[in-house]
Amino acid sequence: MRILCVDYGDARTGLAHCDKYESIASPTGTIFEWNADKRLEKVAAKAKELESELIVIGLPVNMDGSQGERAQKCREFADKLFALTGIETVLWDERVTTMQAINILNETNVRGKKRKEVIDTVAATLILESYMQYRKKKGLI
């Protein structure tokens, strides 16, 4: 199944995708957009371009399992994206993915402006890898 993953943000939204065999998660890029409607349209366009059959959206859950304002924004985004594209959306716990992305970028010595440009895409890739592992364990592939 072709899956698009979204690490939603107000200014930067990271994207990753996988092929129909769900063999590997690949970074797709970052959308730099402050306007919420335009950001939604750009993600929808990318989903259609990649012929996505499912969209996974990272859900920021607090370490204690609670959900705050940021999680609500992601839920609203998921609902709007589904209404716009008709593609099923799934919210997926993204706890610690940003920290993992930071560690990866530290290990590869990515710093400064370049780091800001790629951190959300790296996080989206990690979220998608986690979701793909779940699907494999559940025998959904």
Domain boundaries, the chain: 3-137
Structure confidence at residue 33 (pLDDT): 95
- Compute the half-sphere exposure of residue 39: CA atoms within 13 Å on the CB side of its CA: 21
pLDDT of residue 96: 67
Structure tokens at 89: 């959306």
Tokens standing for residue 7: 């690490």
CB 62 within 8 A of CB 102: no
Q: What is the pLDDT of residue 17?
A: 98
Q: What pLDDT is attached to residue 94?
A: 87
Residue 2: predicted pLDDT: 97
* Distance of alpha carbon 53 from alpha carbon 21, whole angstroms: 12
Whether pTM > 0.85 for this model: the answer is yes
Query: Which regions of the chain are under pLDDT 50?
Result: none
The top-level CATH class assigned to 3-137 is alpha beta
Comparing CA positions, the residue from 108, 78, 62, 66 lying closest to residue 5 is 78
The per-residue pLDDT for 109 is: 72
